[in-house]
Structure 1
Amino acid sequence: MVSTFLSYDIVSRDLQRSLDRVAKQTNVSKEAEYYKANIGKVKTVDDFMKDTRIYNYAVKAYGLEDMAYAKAFIRKVLESDLSDDNSFANKLTDKRYRDFAASFNFNTTTTIAQTSSQIDKMLGLYSATMTAQEEGAGDETRYFNAMMGQLQSADQLLSDERLRDYLLTSFGLDKSNYSRDFLKGVLTSDPSDPASFINQQLGTKRTELQTQISQLEAQVDASTDPEERIALRNRMFVFMNNLEKVNNYYDMAGAFSFNSDGTVPAGGAQTTAQMEAINSRFFSNQQRLSTATATNEDTYFKSKIGSITSVDQLSTDTRLFSYIRTAFNLTDTFWSNIRSALTSDLNDPQSAANLLGKTNPGFLELAKAFNFNADGSVAAGNAQNATQAAQTSSFYFTRYNDQQDENDEQAVQLYKTAMGRIKTVDEFLNSTDAYQFSLKAVGLDPAEVAPFTIKQVLQSDLSDTNSFVYQLKDERYLTLAKAFNFGKDGNPTAPLTAQSSATITTVGSRYTVAQTRFLTGTELKDAQAKAKEELTYYTKQITAVETASQFLSDSRLVNVVLKAYGLDPKTATPDFLKQLFASDLSDPKSFANQQKNTAWAEMVGAFNFDANGNLSRQVNSGVQSRGKIIETENNFERLTLEEEQGQENNGVRLALYFDRKAKDITSPYDILGDTALLEFFRVTFQMPESFGSMNVDKQAALVKSKLDLASLQDPDKVKKLVSRFTALYDLQNTNASASALSLLTSSGSASISADLLSSLQRR
């Protein structure tokens, strides 16, 4: 008779060949093919249990074949939330149930319009876009000024999109609706020439508007009916707005020196004064305040303050008034209070500056920064001295964007609040706070984009290159679509992330065990704290990863996954990992599937990356990821191999079982709670059959005294234990009546007393 060890050695010496032989068996290959072909169709636990072949294949793969009949029990396991320590599967002592539950996603598919990671990314996009817009004002001005020195004609200006946009923005004109010929006529006009294009086209209209406004002003003054006065003022405002548009064209004509034929005169397209004027207009028409805008306003203030001789001149010039209100933090203050402070006697405790300064120090800062007399007069050049001017400028640059920053902070909070309520794409479109913020974040102007277009973008299938969003060929729309999780029907779907929430939970659990096993005391606490820190980072960052390359470039993420799968980071070179993630897991000949250690393929399959390294909903669209399908198939083949060996020699089956489970043993109770492992231990260390009925704590103490659990991580030491077991097994079981088969096919507790089970369950 062949010895138990020799039989075991024949199988384990080239385990992969043994498993390949099993995989090729007709009954095994047929069941595997059926499972792989149909598990993707399963959507619910009911679907899973109704298909007997899928159900039986899976429960056997995880060593639960003997519990297949208990479908109500298995259902509770599968529906457990493994992120909850008190869930049903987590409270069971037997780890097989947790492993089984972790291999599926029945209770972890969460549909949400936008995840916290996506919200954070949107906030980052908003900040970056706003900053880019602010910096862009300066860039565009520098470009415009540089090109003005090279310009040869008005046509050249209008043909350059950047120059044309600068021109239209400066004069408050619609960039999407203009006439090129009309603009050229304006640019080549002399406003002082009655025969020029602009006077011929707009002169009469300008006069009529001015007349109508004067007439309405007179009617307002003459009316004693409040409602009539309001109606008249409203009409007057309409005419004033129209007049402003006409005047903008006149200002445009006066901002350039083109000849009537559109050519540039010897002195250039613009004088220095004209260039400065258009620059100022451009900055004043920006939606965002920038350093360039602030510098422009500061320059303007400094150029004017020297000629001020009356305090009231500060109020009649809106730019000067806005400047001082901003510089001294008085943006919500009326001119009357500002004037009172500017004309105060600071030596008088009851002066306006001193009294107002008690509630707002800005009034005192203001009064100290100027030298107006009590009647508001000041000699030209004496409104401020050099020190006062420098202080005013410093205040302005410190505070010019305070209100903007406050508005941004408020917009962020409103966005977060809105997204917490939004459930459908229609609700998003109807939420001003969410809709406008999101479009601005990706660089789209809400006023220039149709909501229907945005709806189609958000309902596009990102895995289909023919979907609507890709037809637009605009990265801004694609960025917007990726920031949300709306399906084709407008309802939220599960977010497309590098890993599902179930996989992230599994990785976290495995990593923690790997980093803390066998540690005690301070070392254990330190390791737990470090593991928690790494998992916090992992959980946050992995949901933001969009490509395999991005994942592989982050060593912290890679190390967590490798250690969770029991793989040594030192053996995983960048090139090796790159080849793994470029593998087609459906191809048995792919790089990942050719590795002897199947954990490599299982790890790759835990990600939602396609062979090109991009996120895809198609690779893991069912209740089980590719990695878990591979793991299930590998488990099924391994258990089948052990079963077959058990038919010839139950000792071989026990040895193979221990060889498989050894690396996962971290506590004596892992052995005591598994009848097969307990029998292996009893035989290996020649414990009496009554050992199993001893007090559980005494059993645990004996296991610790006999077996160094940490040594089970060493394959050579495991092999020595197996060698010892097989030798003693042959001695003890030549005529034994006890069958290892009954131990391995039992529920894991058949030979354990009720008291022992109860004790283990509480641990």
Structure 2
Amino acid sequence: MVSTYIDYNLITRDMKTSLRRTAEQTLVARETEYYKENIGKVTSIDEFLDDFRLYSYAMKAHGLEDMTYAKAFMRKVLESDLTDDSSYANMLTDERYRNFALAFSFSQSTEVVQSDAQEDALIGLYSQSIANLDDAVTDDTNYFNAAIDRVTTVDQLWQDEKLKDYVLTALGFDPDYMSYAHFKGVVTSDVSDAGSYVNTEAAAYKQGYQDKIDAVKASASAADLADSTSAASKLIAQYQSAINNAPDYTPLAAAFNFQDDGTLAAGDLPMTATQKASVNEAYAFAQPRLSSAAARLNQEYYESTIGSITSVGDILSDSRLFAYIRIAYGLPSSLLTSTMENILTSDLSDSTSYANTQGGENNAAYKELAAAFNFQTDGTLASGDTAQTTTQITKTSAYWMTRYNDAEEAADESLIASFKTLIGVVTDVDDLLADTKIMKLALTAVGLQNEGDTTRKLKKVLTSDLTDPKSYVYTLKDERYVELAKAFNIDTDGSLGVPMLAQSESEILNTAKSYVVEKSRFGTEEDKTKATEESKYYSAEIEKIESLDDLLADRRLVDFILVAAGLDPEEYTTDYVRQMFKSDLDDAKSFINTEPDTTIFKQIVTSYNFDSDGNLAKPMEGIQTKRGLLETEDLYLNQTLEEQQGEENAGVRLALYFRRMASGVNTAYDLLADSALLQVIQTTFSIPEEMSSADVDVQHDYINRVLDIEDLHDPEKLDKLLVRFTALYDVENNIDVSAAELIMSGSGRNGISADTLLSLTQLRTGGA
């Protein structure tokens, strides 16, 4: 019989080859092929448990072959929610059951309209879109003011979409409903000429509706005309409204200096500085919410006007001044002009005055407002006084710039709060589209709030398959719609789906847990606390990752992944990790298959959902993840190799098993809990059999005296330990080992010389 050490050494010297040879065995290859071909077809736990070949293959792979009969027990394991520490699999002390459940995706993915990361991202986009409004108004205005001076014809103005849209938006016209002919006719018109295009078109528009009114009156009876509810009266009212609300194009005509033929006279610019300023102001106020640019324009208006105010009535009759003062002093939008008058005419030295006695919760603001102006109780100013001093104006303007957007910010906070509440009760795409608050935030966040899209179009967008480049959302050629679809998890049938993540929920959980174990294995409680905090960072950030580039750009995440896999981050560059992810797992010559840490990196790579281009991809169909399938196949081959070697020499099987399981040993109790692992330790350190009957704590302390558990995680020290085990196993089990065999095996390279092993053999035989 060949020595235990020689057999073990021959196998582990090139473990890849040993496993490949095992995989090529007819029975092993047949069972593995059956598993790989059929596991993806399984859709339920019942189907899995009823297919004995699949079920028994997986059980053997995970070292649970002796529990294959216990289907009811294993059902409870597979049904466990691994995110719940109190679930069945998590409560079992044997980690093999949890690992078995982790290899499959039964009940491990949550169908939800949005993950926490998606919700945070969408709300973040909404908040950013609001913040960007100020910059957008400023950028648009700067472009307009610079580019308009280079325009020499109406055609040039029309062809520059940004210029044209700016001026039309500013003056209240929809660019999508303006024809070139009409635009040119208006901007080349002389508003003072009754026969110009802008004036004749306006007259014709009104006359057309007047003719319709006359026609109705001519055909309707006197009774119908007298009855305001009759069809004729309603039609007349509709036509009259069209006349009263006729679009006024004269501001557009007055904004430019083009001649009748659309050119400029020599020396003229398209717009004077005054015309520009007027359009700039109109554009600022045409926005859906008040920007800082518009706020400053209001401030300029206020400060240039307040000096000419001579009575309270002047303020009450100017809505712009009234709103400025009301907002500056934090008063509600419901404030009446009579209330404002009472405040401004209050005598604060009179304890019974309006500002001193009224306002309730706003009383302090009433007093401050009254003190900010110098009106007498009759609403006029005393001789030589001004409505406000310079100091009072400065204070009022400072309040305005601080508070001008308070109402809108409050509305934003309310919308976000409503979104967070309402999104939790959405059950399908129709629920989503029917909620106006949800859709308002979502469309604003991605910049689609002004597109006027139909519900039908948005439904097609949200139910698009993001992994199919031919799906509807990609045909729109607009990234905003892709962003909208990515913000929610809607399946193609409109039901809620599973978030498309770089890692599945179970894989995130497994990676995070592995990291904590690795960092705190031989550390302090503080180390564990820090590791737990870092795992929270990882769990939150990994949900935001949308590509391999995103992942590798965050070295903190890369280091986390390597540590979780038991690797030293300092030994692997980001480029090395990239090559691993880019490798073809099925190509024996690819980078990942030719490197020393092949198995570990395969487990890392297959736990992520990236396609060959590094983009997010759908997880593998079926009940098992890519990592789970790879791990199960690898474990099956290892189990088979160990079993087959054990038929010839139980010591080889024990050594191979110990080598495979050592990375999971954290304490001496782990060794005591596994009889095979314990046997290796007893043999290696010549621990007498009688010790097994001692108190478990006594055994625990003894093992710690002879072995530093941390050594099991050092490859070189582990190798030396197993060399010692195999040698002593031969001695203990009377296995004949010739010196020639030992020397030919090259044992000296592994920490114990041939002379030492020969001496051990002589001790067994009593030789001199």
Q: Same fold (TM over 0.5)?
A: yes
Aligned to 1:218: none
Segments of 5+ residues of structure 1 without an aligned counterpart are 214-226, 737-763
Over 3 Å counting, the alpha-carbon distance change for 1:718 and 1:247 in structure 2 is closer
Following superposition, the deviation at residue 87 of structure 1 comes to 2.0
Over 3 Å counting, the alpha-carbon distance change for 1:237 and 1:701 in structure 2 is farther
Over 3 Å counting, the alpha-carbon distance change for 1:468 and 1:68 in structure 2 is same
The sequence identity of aligned pairs, in percent, is: 44
Bigger shift: residues 589-598 or 498-507:
589-598
Q: Cα RMSD between the aligned structures? A: 2.8
Q: Any residues of structure 2 matched to 1:220-619 within 5 Å, and which?
A: 242=242, 245-246=245-246, 248-265=248-265, 266-330=267-331, 331-356=333-358, 359-360=361-362, 361-378=364-381, 382-445=386-449, 448-519=452-523, 523=524, 525-597=525-597, 598-617=599-618, 619=619
| Counterpart secondary structure, 1:410 | helix
Cα pair 2:281 2:297 within 8 Å, conserved? yes
Hey, what's the Cα distance between the residues in 1 that align with 2:420 and 2:585? 39
Cα pair 1:77 1:101 within 8 Å, conserved? yes
Following superposition, the deviation at residue 54 of structure 1 comes to 2.1
Following superposition, the deviation at residue 381 of structure 1 comes to 9.1
Cα pair 1:93 1:673 within 8 Å, conserved? no
1:674 correspondence with 2:674: yes
Cα pair 2:555 2:574 within 8 Å, conserved? no
Hey, what's the Cα distance between the residues in 2 that align with 1:312 and 1:209? 40
Over 3 Å counting, the alpha-carbon distance change for 1:473 and 1:296 in structure 2 is same
Hey, what's the Cα distance between the residues in 1 that align with 2:239 and 2:305? 31
Q: Any residues of structure 2 matched to 1:652-663 within 5 Å, and which?
A: 652-663=652-663
Cα pair 1:665 1:671 within 8 Å, conserved? yes
Cα pair 2:684 2:725 within 8 Å, conserved? yes
Following superposition, the deviation at residue 579 of structure 1 comes to 0.7
Bigger shift: residues 675-684 or 634-643:
675-684
Hey, what's the Cα distance between the residues in 2 that align with 1:627 and 1:585? 12
Following superposition, the deviation at residue 612 of structure 1 comes to 1.0
Cα pair 1:171 1:248 within 8 Å, conserved? no
What code does the residue aligned with 2:350 have?
D
Hey, what's the Cα distance between the residues in 1 that align with 2:641 and 2:502? 34
Hey, what's the Cα distance between the residues in 2 that align with 1:482 and 1:63? 41
Following superposition, the deviation at residue 306 of structure 1 comes to 2.8
What code does the residue aligned with 1:339 have?
E
1:141 correspondence with 2:144: no
Hey, what's the Cα distance between the residues in 2 that align with 1:433 and 1:600? 45
Deviations 1:666-691 (A, max 9, x none): 12221222121122223233334344
Hey, what's the Cα distance between the residues in 2 that align with 1:305 and 1:207? 43
Cα pair 2:48 2:55 within 8 Å, conserved? yes
Hey, what's the Cα distance between the residues in 1 that align with 2:241 and 2:393? 36
Following superposition, the deviation at residue 511 of structure 1 comes to 1.2
| Counterpart secondary structure, 1:405 | helix
Provide TM-score, normalisation by structure 2: 0.88
Aligned to 2:216: none
Bigger shift: residues 178-187 or 629-638:
178-187
Following superposition, the deviation at residue 186 of structure 1 comes to 2.1
Bigger shift: residues 171-180 or 388-397:
171-180
Hey, what's the Cα distance between the residues in 1 that align with 2:640 and 2:95? 20
Aligned to 1:77: 77
Deviations 1:598-650 (A, max 9, x none): 10111011000111110000x53332222222222221111111111111111
Hey, what's the Cα distance between the residues in 2 that align with 1:102 and 1:380? 85
Over 3 Å counting, the alpha-carbon distance change for 1:88 and 1:690 in structure 2 is farther
Following superposition, the deviation at residue 237 of structure 1 comes to 9.8
Segments of 5+ residues of structure 2 without an aligned counterpart are 214-226, 737-768
Following superposition, the deviation at residue 721 of structure 1 comes to 2.4
Hey, what's the Cα distance between the residues in 1 that align with 2:207 and 2:306? 34
Deviations 1:46-82 (A, max 9, x none): 2322333222221111111122122222222222222
Aligned to 1:177: 177
What code does the residue aligned with 1:324 have?
I
Aligned to 1:223: none
Aligned to 2:685: 685
Cα pair 1:306 1:380 within 8 Å, conserved? no
| Counterpart secondary structure, 2:175 | coil
Following superposition, the deviation at residue 735 of structure 1 comes to 8.9
Hey, what's the Cα distance between the residues in 2 that align with 1:533 and 1:699? 35
Over 3 Å counting, the alpha-carbon distance change for 1:159 and 1:622 in structure 2 is same
Following superposition, the deviation at residue 103 of structure 1 comes to 1.4
Over 3 Å counting, the alpha-carbon distance change for 1:150 and 1:727 in structure 2 is closer
Provide TM-score, normalisation by structure 1: 0.88
| Counterpart secondary structure, 1:248 | coil
| Counterpart secondary structure, 1:682 | helix
Q: Which runs of 4+ in 1 moved over 6 A?
A: 207-213, 233-241
| Counterpart secondary structure, 1:312 | helix
Deviations 1:429-451 (A, max 9, x none): 11111112111110002661111
Deviations 1:414-469 (A, max 9, x none): 11111111010011111111112111110002661111111111111111100001
Aligned to 1:759: none
Hey, what's the Cα distance between the residues in 1 that align with 2:570 and 2:504? 26
Aligned to 2:21: 21
Hey, what's the Cα distance between the residues in 2 that align with 1:735 and 1:255? 105
Bigger shift: residues 562-571 or 28-37:
28-37
Hey, what's the Cα distance between the residues in 1 that align with 2:202 and 2:476? 39
Following superposition, the deviation at residue 727 of structure 1 comes to 2.9
Over 3 Å counting, the alpha-carbon distance change for 1:420 and 1:304 in structure 2 is same
Bigger shift: residues 38-47 or 568-577:
38-47
Bigger shift: residues 262-271 or 607-616:
262-271
Deviations 1:562-592 (A, max 9, x none): 1111111111111101111112223333222
Q: How many residue pairs align between the two structures?
A: 717
Bigger shift: residues 694-703 or 592-601:
694-703
Hey, what's the Cα distance between the residues in 1 that align with 2:544 and 2:644? 46
Cα pair 1:344 1:367 within 8 Å, conserved? yes
Following superposition, the deviation at residue 236 of structure 1 comes to 11
Following superposition, the deviation at residue 482 of structure 1 comes to 0.8
Hey, what's the Cα distance between the residues in 2 that align with 1:728 and 1:138? 82
What code does the residue aligned with 2:578 have?
K
